[in-house]
Structure 1
Amino acid sequence: MTLESTTAITPRHAVDVRIEGAVCHLVFDRPDANNAINAQLVAECHTALDRYAQDVSIVVLSGSAETFCFGADFAELSQGVDPQFAAHAGPGPMFDLWQRLATGPFVTVSYVRGKVNAGGMGFLGASDIVLADTTARFSLSEMLFGLYPACVLPFLVRRIGFQRTHYLTLSTQPIDAATAQAWGLADAVDEQGDMLLRRHLRQLGRLSKTAIERYKTYARGVTPDWGAHRERAIQGNLEVFEDPHNRAAIARYVTEGLFPWE
């Protein structure tokens, strides 16, 4: 089914939703916040999937040329959630979004340019295919703030294994696109990332919706059961994000730009 192009879901959007034939583009569009994950971004992604998941065969996630997604929105954590999007706040809706992307009846493609960090890596772990240009840098910085990537781990471990996820978590250091490709975090890397994406979309567009749905249903039986990790992941996330010391460090970073060790 071919759908007409659409614009953002809300006037002050966090995600630009664009339909091109059988492809749904979800473009993170929070430039002033490094495309950080807030309740609105999660809500708009869920809304787009509610509307288009049964009609499209490919979902492409992307950000700006400088930042794919830099993780949780610390400003929202410090200042509170917009009541309009309160139902999508917290780790549960975010985990559920990643699970939908991982198991939905479509091919999920993440196209990474620039920085992707912390919760942004959850989108990559939930993707069927990760493409990157040579500017991409991948990191998990949570431990620097006394946190750990509780919800990210089940998805990232399925993509690159426990030890590499463990290393990224403890080192907190970014890896470049070439290393990400060698580790299986990125499936393909090219200096001309836009052309790389177009080539993949052209080939993926030849797959039928039925074939994709059947394959992903089958694949769920041979990949980790994310549902089994959901409650533990959410509880782990809540524990570290509700810790008063960690919240004070996050608030100080938001207001003063200082890291916990400074």
Structure 2
Amino acid sequence: MSEALLIHHAPLARGFVETWTLNDPVSRNALSVAMVDALLAACERAAADTNLRGVVLRGAGGHFCAGGSLGGFAKTIGQPLDAGEADPLVPLNRRFGTLLQALCALPQWLIVVVEGAAMGGGFGLVCCADRVLAHTSAQFATPEVTLGIVPAQIAPFVVRHLGPAAARRCLLTGERWDAATAQRAGLVDEVVTGDMEAAVQAAIARHAATASQAVAATKRLLLAQAETPLPALLDDAAIAFAQALRGSEAPQGLAAFAARKPPPWSAKT
């Protein structure tokens, strides 16, 4: 495990939940190459772990993520390439897009917890969440255009999460949103004024009432929605529905419902 990313396990009924903590408080958890690599490795492992039911992504030291770290690019800023030279910045930036894809494609539910700054690339991470909790201290912005930079990899994910109008407003102005404004824009699901840890546990319990295979299949359909023609998407949805009814979860879930009991995968059992 990289020191740039701390991973903590906690048991749930029929599996466990992991908390992934971005761990560079001095930089307000700016996205270094090491941090991106650690997150990608965690996503790859999680995608194959059938016992992992959910992920909570948060930051250390009172902030979520201040965006991309430009420290390693200092010598390249303002410097043109030599004729015929391949730009090493291109694959580095594209790798962050690969991370955003991997987070969106996680078969587990993903809760993002925002305290303090969620800027630039951190804003992009938030857009990958299935549920977003924001403390009243949270501040959200995509300030790239105010710095002469392009919000290149996050833009498609911001549009997908917020819709074109809200995405244009934040991406083209760099305006800063507090937690309440972000909630009105659809970026945040819950604004937390009190104990964040209690709110996180309540969100975990809410998601832990869901069945893992059903969640994974539903997320695949949601992810495919933007790229798949409707008839083909509905065909895939019908197959997923039939497979779920014939699988192991539906009989247990429906029997528990009929008996007015919690399902066997619920955190309450």
TM interval, short-chain normalised = 0.7 to 0.9
Contact between 2:46 and 2:106, CA under 8 Å: does it hold in 1? no
In 2, Cα distance between equivalents of 1:65 and 1:133: 14
Once the two structures are superposed, the pairs formed by residues 95-114 of structure 1 within 5 Å of their partners are: 95-114=97-116
Identity rate, percent: 26
Residue 67 of structure 1 pairs with residue 63 of structure 2? yes
Q: Deviations over 1:148-188 (max 9, x none)?
A: 21111111111111121211123222111011111110011
Of 114, 117, 120 in structure 1, the residue corresponding to residue 119 of structure 2 is: 117
Could you say which residue in structure 1 is the equivalent of 2:198?
195
Could you say which residue in structure 1 is the equivalent of 2:45?
51
Could you say which residue in structure 2 is the equivalent of 1:39?
33
SS of the residue corresponding to residue 17 of structure 1 reads: strand
Equivalent position amino acid for 2:184 in 1:
A
Bigger-Rg structure (1/2): 2
Could you say which residue in structure 2 is the equivalent of 1:251?
none
Of 131, 138, 141 in structure 2, the residue corresponding to residue 139 of structure 1 is: 141
Could you say which residue in structure 2 is the equivalent of 1:173?
175
Equivalent position amino acid for 1:56 in 2:
L
Residue 28 of structure 1 pairs with residue 22 of structure 2? yes
Give 1:79 deviation, angstroms.
6.0
Of 220, 223, 238 in structure 1, the residue corresponding to residue 223 of structure 2 is: 220
Of 147, 150, 153 in structure 2, the residue corresponding to residue 151 of structure 1 is: 153
Residue 18 of structure 1 pairs with residue 8 of structure 2? yes
Give 1:224 deviation, angstroms.
5.5
In 2, Cα distance between equivalents of 1:219 and 1:169: 24
Contact between 1:65 and 1:113, CA under 8 Å: does it hold in 2? no
In 2, Cα distance between equivalents of 1:79 and 1:19: 40
Equivalent position amino acid for 2:9 in 1:
I
Q: Deviations over 1:183-231 (max 9, x none)?
A: 1100111112222211110111121211111111111232468xxxxxx
Contact between 2:43 and 2:106, CA under 8 Å: does it hold in 1? no
SS of the residue corresponding to residue 64 of structure 2 reads: strand
Equivalent position amino acid for 1:179 in 2:
T
In 2, Cα distance between equivalents of 1:218 and 1:23: 23
Q: Deviations over 1:58-94 (max 9, x none)?
A: 11110135321011101122269xxxxx9xx712221
In 1, Cα distance between equivalents of 2:75 and 2:121: 19
In 1, Cα distance between equivalents of 2:153 and 2:114: 20
Q: RMSD of the TM alignment (CA)?
A: 2.0
SS of the residue corresponding to residue 57 of structure 1 reads: strand
SS of the residue corresponding to residue 132 of structure 2 reads: strand
Unaligned runs of 5+ in 2: 77-87, 229-269
Contact between 1:158 and 1:224, CA under 8 Å: does it hold in 2? no
Of 208, 211, 214 in structure 1, the residue corresponding to residue 214 of structure 2 is: 211
Give 1:136 deviation, angstroms.
0.6
Could you say which residue in structure 2 is the equivalent of 1:248?
none
SS of the residue corresponding to residue 68 of structure 1 reads: coil
**Are residues 79 and 34 of structure 1, via their aligned partners in 2, closer, same or farther at CA, if it must alter by over 3 Å?**
farther
Size of the aligned set, in residue pairs, is 209
In 1, Cα distance between equivalents of 2:134 and 2:227: 25
